[in-house]
Amino acid sequence: MINSKLERILQKVQKPGRYVGGELNSVVKEKSEVEVRFAFCFPDTYEIGMSHLGIKILYSLFNEKPYIWCERVFAPWIDMEAEMQKNGLPLYALESGDPVRDFDFIGFTLQYELSYTNILQMLKLAGVPVLAKDRKELFNIVVGGGPCACNPEPIADFFDLFFLGDGEEVDLEVIELYRKCRKAGASKEEFLREAAKIEGVYVPSLYDVVYNADGTVQRYIPKDGAPEKIRKRNCMDLDAMYFPESFVVPNIDVVFDRATVEVLRGCIRGCRFCQAGFLYRPFREKSVETLSRQARSLCETTGYDEVSLSSLSTTDHTKLFELLDELHTWTEDSKVSVTLPSLRVDKFSVELTEKIKSIRKGGLTFAPEAGTQRMRDVINKNVTEEELKKTVSIAFNNGWEHIKLYFMIGLPTETDEDVTGITELGHKVVDWYYEAENRRKGRPVSVTASAAAFVPKPFTPFQWFGQDTIETLEHKQKLLKSTVRNRKLTVNYHGAETSFLEAVFARGDRRLSAVLLEAHRRGLHFDGWGDCFDFDAWMRIFADLGVDPAFYANRTRSFDEVFPWDHLDYGIRKEFLIEECKRAYRAETTPNCAEKCSGCGAACFGGGICIAKRN
Amino acid sequence: MRKEIRIWFSKKGASRFISHLNLNRCMSRAIHRAKLPVWYTEGYNPHVFLSFAAPLSLGFEGERESMDIRLIEEMPYDLLLERLNAGLPPDIRAYEVTEPVMKPGEIAFAEYHIVFSGGDPEGTSEALWRILHNDALIVEKKTKKGAQQVDILPYFKNAGILVLGGGVMMDVTLPAGSEGSVNPSLFLEAVEPHLGASVLAKVQRLRLLDREKREFR
Ligand code: SF4
């Protein structure tokens, strides 16, 4: 696929391996033999995109169909993009090298709000009009899916349709519909009208928005027979759900370079800040047999010697130990190690560390999320200081001395005491090290506490909460730093400004499309990267366009406000979220789904934990 | 049983951009995937024992690269190659297995084939001739002691230049061993300003040689 133009450019850029494809298990087809070409775009660098599980699942799923050829596209880094523009090389797909503008579908995965400008940049580099209304043919259909599709309004003007929920079935149905419409010579409008009838498909152009005088949404008016509410798609039987037998194996270093199996989908916990915990309800798990088979197949087709058991909360799998034992029946002989992406404070045990050798490698990471019990009750992170003490003591007594703790600041009802509670807890962890009798002596203990700024998200009990202003967040960050009394404790935090921007777009409405378009015109992109993020430029755009970002980020909403995502139905009842919000402010916890059903609404999908027997 | 073998492979196309470190990983994965009966290092985190003769610069094609591994069981070489290739990126192909005759430390030279395409071939060849018939070609060479000015022209006195089809070929044998090496990219950087803007140079390393310029085996 490397032509002489590209060849010349590759000599001038960093990490040319990002831009050439040619990996093991990448799929190359004969283009005359396929009917639909799908450009799967990840709006970030190759290294990040290739670490993402979702893209690997859908890539294989599409390519199993003989009539579809799905190829990968990543955002070229700024050096590459400058060379491409200078030399008139349009954005191309990695398998064929063909321009993205030649593809039937241009699909974006929507993982984080700060990648929105990259989407526009990629469309521009492809030479495809960024606004959906300027793409008139039944071709270059721009689609999006992933967590940010739960409020896609800020990017609604650029997309033809969004997939809500699990993509494994609905994506293929839409491709099939496209194929039919092409054969019948239908128009793009006809195709979109039909697509809107498929469960899990949201066509933003089929809805008019009416706003109130105060700038809030009054209502969404569906047109041309589009449904009032668009329900997300859910695959209930994970054992039967598609999962690839092989992955594309990158030739260059990527963030996560290993085999990954998805152990379960959803989460039982109900942490009130966590959007994923609500979007992917209900909790569903794969059987031990399925997981072992899938993990083995991946290792055998890729040569990876590491398999990661991925999910929102892997240690909540009801048969975790059985699974680990089953994996051990073949991983040891095959020299494969098993890893867990995260550990829950209350699920850590000596037994677990014995079964998962990889835990042995580096430091241990836990996420208490908040520094005081009151604050943890507010966010429903049902972890106590006692449990943390027990866990880190086990760790210290078993040879660990590096502990990393994740926290959030800027949570609802948070006081300065809750903030300093973070450093206090950090100090206690250091003390518990010295109390641990069997600790490895003569080694310095180190505890790191990282504090992220909380971003309120749709479909969570905190969706009404006005985010702390940048000033308040910075005050809290300083407070954190100033209360550190021990060199063994390191406190760090990241960007209040990026969190602010993320909050604007997370709960934004359609009027923000104009802001994104202007940001794109002014050359902003790669906002998630410190070396590219230009906060002042963003603030100038808001000012120039007369848009108040605080309206979206910092304003506390009332319970009766209509949200730009209220017509999207993720199975979670708004009344439930209101109830959860009120409980949060009373610092009342809610039991997790394994203990008791709290009636969130996700039982409407008729499966998973909602229909499971409880002890 | 423990038997050292040398696997010969080519590295072209997209795989030119696989760095030396990543080539190591890529081969380890392919060997692991092929379940070859090879020796793994002992210890907490066992990995395939393998070593390469001489690293190839990023972006160069290699026609005859080699990698040494240790077999702990006999295995027919054709089967070994077949299984190994199944797990390699399509642009890396293993094609021969031999028992090592020389040690990688004996490597002293490398044979390169450089193709200049695009632009006007006659003009390119003329420019190259002129440069090669100058008194010196001073380039900046980065060494451990910092940047150094060196004249690399003497190394290029044996270079052959040929205009063929739409391009210009240059064949040259350069020092490439523990006692010092000259990377053709030094030459390319120095001549680039004298060639047309549309000329593109592509480097292939054909094979490695010992001090007596016998083929590395
Ligand atoms: S319906 Fe009940 S069990 Fe199901 S996800 Fe909601 S709270 Fe959990």
Distance of alpha carbon A21 from alpha carbon A50, whole angstroms: 11
Distance from Cα A275 to the centre of ligand 1, integer Å: 15
Say if strands A259-262 and A306-310 run parallel, antiparallel, or are unpaired. parallel
Instruction: Domain A4-231: give its CATH superfamily.
Output: Cobalamin-binding domain (3.40.50.280)
- Put simply, whether B80 touches A (Cβ < 8 Å) is no
User: Percent of chain A, pLDDT > 90?
Assistant: 87
**Per mean pLDDT, which range of A222-226, A355-359, A387-391 is the poorest?**
A355-359
Nearest CA in chain A to B89: A24
Does residue A364 register a pLDDT over 90? no
The verdict on a CB contact (< 8 Å) between B17 and A21 is no
Segment A502-548, tens digit of pLDDT: 999 999 999 999 999 999 999 999 999 988 999 999 999 999 999 99
Distances, alpha carbon A280 to alpha carbons A308, A386, A500, A600, in Å: 20, 30, 25, 12
Provide CB contacts within 8 A for B70, sequence distance 6+. B2, B3, B4, B5, B38, B39, B49
Are the Cβ atoms of B32 and A303 closer than 8 angstroms? yes
Give residue A359's pLDDT: 62
Facing residues of B163 across strands? B168
pLDDT at A18: 96
Alpha carbon B102 to chain centroid, angstroms: 17
Stated length of chain A = 615
Q: What is the pLDDT of residue A505?
A: 98
Under the banding of pLDDT at 50, 70 and 90, the label for residue A362 is: low
Does the distance separating the beta carbons of A16 and B89 come in below 8 Å? no
SS3 assignment, position A206 = helix
User: What's the CATH fold of domain A259-494+571-602?
Assistant: pyruvate-formate lyase- activating enzyme (3.80.30)
Domain boundaries, chain B: 3-100, 106-210
Average pLDDT over all residues of chain A:
94
pLDDT given for residue A360 in this prediction: 58
Question: Which CATH architecture describes the domain B106-210?
Answer: 2-Layer Sandwich (3.30)
In eight-state DSSP terms, residue A141 is E
pLDDT in tens, B146-164: 888 889 899 998 889 999 8
- The span from the CA of A460 to the CA of A277, in Å, is 9
Percent of chain B with pLDDT over 90: 65
Write down the residue that tokens 């390393």 correspond to.
B205
| pLDDT class of A442 with cuts at 50, 70, 90 | confident
HSE at residue B126, side-chain half, CA atoms within 13 A, is: 6
Q: Report how far residue A203's alpha carbon sits from residue A206's, in angstroms, rounded to the nearest whole number.
A: 6
Return the higher-pLDDT residue of A382 and B144: A382
> Quick check: A38 pLDDT over 80?
yes
Residue of chain B whose Cα is closest to the Cα of A23: B89
Q: How many CB pairs under 8 A join A and B?
A: 76
- pLDDT over 70, % of chain A: 99
CATH class of B3-100: alpha beta
DSSP A41-90: EESS-HHHHTT-HHHHHHHHHHHHSTTEEEEEEEPPPHHHHHHHHHTT--
What SS3 string covers A91-122? CECCCCCCEHHHCCEEEEECCCHHHHHHHHHH
Q: Is the dihedral of CA A146, A148, A150, A151 positive or negative?
A: negative
Residue of A282, A148, A134 whose CA lies nearest to A606: A282
Low-confidence ranges of chain B (pLDDT < 50): none
**Which residues of A lie closer than 8 Å to B, measured between beta carbons?**
1-2, 4, 7-8, 10-11, 16-17, 20-24, 249, 251-253, 300-305, 335, 337
How large is the angle between the packed helices B20-33 and B77-86, nearest 10 degrees?
Answer: 110
- Domain boundaries of chain A, sorted by first residue: 4-231, 259-494+571-602
Q: Which two tokens stand for residue A303?
A: 């040569």
A17: closest chain B residue by CA: B17
Determine if the peptide bond prior to B184 is cis (ω within 30°). no
Is a pLDDT exceeding 80 seen at residue A180?
yes
**String of DSSP letters for B88-149:** S-TTEEEEEEE---S-GGGEEEEEEEEEEESS-HHHHHHHHHHHHTSS--EEEEEETTEEEE
- The pLDDT score that the predictor gives to residue B143 is 75
| Any A CB within 8 A of B176 CB | no
pLDDT digits (tens, 9 = 90+) for A548-601: 999 999 999 999 999 999 999 999 999 999 999 999 999 999 999 999 999 999
Phi-psi region of A399 (alpha: psi -120 to 50; beta: other; left: phi over 0): left
Hey, whose CA ends up nearest to atom 4 of ligand 1? Answer: A610
Residue of B10, B25, B40, B198 to mutate, interface with A, max A Cβ within 10 Å = B25
pLDDT tens per residue, range A188-239: 999 999 999 999 999 999 999 999 999 999 999 999 999 999 999 999 999 9
B13 contacts in A (CB within 8 Å)? Answer: 2, 20, 22
Of B17, B46, B117, the CB nearest to A16: B17
Mind telling me how many Å the CA of A544 is from chain B's nearest CA?
A: 43
Chain B residues within an 8 Å CB radius of A304: 29, 32
Q: Same CATH fold, B106-210 and B3-100?
A: no
> Roughly how many angstroms between the first and final C-alpha of chain B, as a whole number?
23
Pocket of ligand 1 (CB under 6 A): A 281-282, 593, 597-600, 602-603, 609-610
Predicted pLDDT of residue A579: 97
Handedness of CA B104, B106, B110, B111 (dihedral sign): negative
pLDDT in the model for residue A182: 97
Ligand 1 centroid to Cα of residue A198, in Å, is: 25
Long-range CB pairs of A121-124 (<8 Å, 24+ gap) are A121/A75, A121/A81, A121/A520, A121/A525, A122/A41, A122/A43, A122/A73, A122/A75, A122/A91, A123/A158, A124/A520
* Short-list B39, B58, B61, CA closest to B48: B39
Find the residue in A nearest to B42 (Cα).
A335
Residue type, A531: D
Going from the Cα of A452 to the center of ligand 1, the distance in angstroms, rounded, reads: 28
pLDDT tens, residue by residue, A258-309 = 999 999 999 999 999 999 999 999 999 999 999 999 999 999 999 999 999 9
- The B residues from 105 to 124 touching A (CB cutoff 8 Å) are 117-118
Q: Chain A: nearest CA to B31, how far in angstroms?
A: 8
C-alpha span between B206 and B217 (Å, rounded): 13
Q: What angle do CA A562, A566, A571 make, to 5 degrees?
A: 140
The pLDDT of residue A358 is 63
With the CA atoms of B85, B90, B91 and B95 taken in that order, what torsion angle do they form, in degrees rounded to the nearest 10? Answer: 20
- How close, in Å, is residue B210 to chain A by CA atoms? 30
Which residue type is seen at A341? P
The answer to whether the predicted template modeling score (pTM) of the entire model surpasses 0.80 is yes
